Amino acid sequence: MSHGVCPVYIWKCTVCGHKEYSKHPPVSCVKCAGEANRFIMVPPPDKALDQPAAIYPIGMPTLNSILYLVGSTQGGQVNAMCCSSVTPVTYHPMRVAVAVNKNNLTYDFIKVSGVFSLCLLGLGHKQMAHHFGRNSGRNINKFEKYSQKPGKTGSPIIDGCLGYFECEVDHRATMDLDTHTLFVARVVDAFVESNEPPLTYRDYAQDLSKY
């Protein structure tokens, strides 16, 4: 791609099949009102992304990872979203990397506050993953159904989770990934409530039809 050209991708709504052409996935589908997370990127015919279309339906659940709720706060408001793109990256200091879509309210909150919490989900938290992962805080108050209390950084710690980490963004190490920002953050507080097995993306995806 030549320098200065804005890349445009094809985004397909997995609910109704509608396609949009833009740099980032649309905030919602103009045809069925499906949210941004319902869009998948369709590789262009020239295979510029060098990824076959067949990987998309397999994608994330097969790669598998532990699910967290990313709690965020800004100006007295609190929010949380479900997140699979969470991984520890360094141990001294202890830092994590979390990829957040730029369309999410969580992204706006973390960008301004520079802090967030990671609340660990267990096998009994599939409905919770769905609630926080399929609704945006732009449209509803997700804490009408679930309770939370502020942690050390002011980020919400959601009641009933297996444990939590509180994090402060390391702006020097944080990276732009076009549709997402990969926030790298120092862990400043942590607490483990239970050693039950964590909920994975694969556990969640297996039961999708029940939600």
Residues at the contact surface with ligand FMN, assessed by CB under 6 A? 35, 37, 67, 79, 81-85, 99-101, 104-106, 129, 133-138, 201, 204
Q: Name the residue type at position 39.
A: F
Rounded Cα distance between 191 and 47, Å, is 45
Rounded to a whole number of angstroms, the minimum distance from the CB of residue 104 to ligand FMN is 3
Rounded to a whole number of angstroms, the minimum distance from the CB of residue 158 to ligand FMN is 13
- Comparison of 5 and 13: residue with beta carbon closer to ligand FMN: 13
Q: β-pairing, 115-120 with 163-169?
A: antiparallel
Rounded Cα distance between 79 and 160, Å, is 16
Residue 150: name the closest of 162, 158, 161 by CA.
158
Rounded to a whole number of angstroms, the minimum distance from the CB of residue 162 to ligand FMN is 16
- Comparison of 133 and 163: residue with beta carbon closer to ligand FMN: 133
- Comparison of 47 and 127: residue with beta carbon closer to ligand FMN: 127
Rounded to a whole number of angstroms, the minimum distance from the CB of residue 61 to ligand FMN is 8
- Comparison of 23 and 138: residue with beta carbon closer to ligand FMN: 138
Structure tokens at 137: 């805080």
Contact status, residue 168 vs residue 110, Cβ threshold 8 Å: no
- Comparison of 104 and 153: residue with beta carbon closer to ligand FMN: 104
Rounded to a whole number of angstroms, the minimum distance from the CB of residue 45 to ligand FMN is 27
- Comparison of 128 and 168: residue with beta carbon closer to ligand FMN: 128
| Residue whose Cβ sits closest to ligand FMN | 133
Rounded Cα distance between 172 and 185, Å, is 10
Q: β-pairing, 39-42 with 9-13?
A: antiparallel
Q: β-pairing, 156-158 with 148-150?
A: antiparallel
Rounded Cα distance between 200 and 74, Å, is 28
Rounded to a whole number of angstroms, the minimum distance from the CB of residue 82 to ligand FMN is 4
